Amino acid sequence: MNQLTQDINERLKNNTFMHYNHIELESIGEDRAVFKLDIRPESRNSYGMVHGGAIYTLADNATGYVAHSDGRYYVTQTSALHFLRNQSEGTVRAFATVRHRGKSTCLVAVDILGEGDKLIATGEFTFFCVDKAVMDKKRPQEAK
């Protein structure tokens, strides 16, 4: 198992918010990742469509994991997600690709595709590189 796979597996194990929202990793490599969400009753808004927060969470996870694919540690700094359409059932996938890596930031583009590969949302996330030791000190005791 290579270092990227080990790092990703450790992050996946500790990402309880992602698991709580039923988001799954489909594939990851250097500078690219695909995550999916099978729409469930708890994924829907009051209109019966997949909730915008679920789509945003899917996008944030996909872009965050692809930012981390260089072995450094990041937190979300800014984001813009444009919602274009919606769906009520099936699967939605986030396709994330690094557009730029700098010394302290990483810019990642994301497309959310639904059934029939229809574009549901698109956007960009900027991540700020952080010191892992500093972040580990901030982690609550029960999460260590």
Whether the predicted pLDDT of 142 surpasses 70: no
Whether the predicted pLDDT of 53 surpasses 70: yes
Residues 5, 29: Cα–Cα separation, whole Å: 9
* Digit-coded pLDDT (tens) for 78-136: 999 999 999 999 999 999 999 999 999 999 999 999 999 999 999 999 999 998 888 88
Q: What are phi and psi of 103, to 5 degrees?
A: -70, -35
pLDDT band (50, 70, 90) for residue 55: very high
- What residues have CB less than 8 Å from 113, skipping those under 6 apart? 92, 93, 95, 119, 120
- What residues have CB less than 8 Å from 129, skipping those under 6 apart? 72, 73, 74, 103, 104, 105, 106
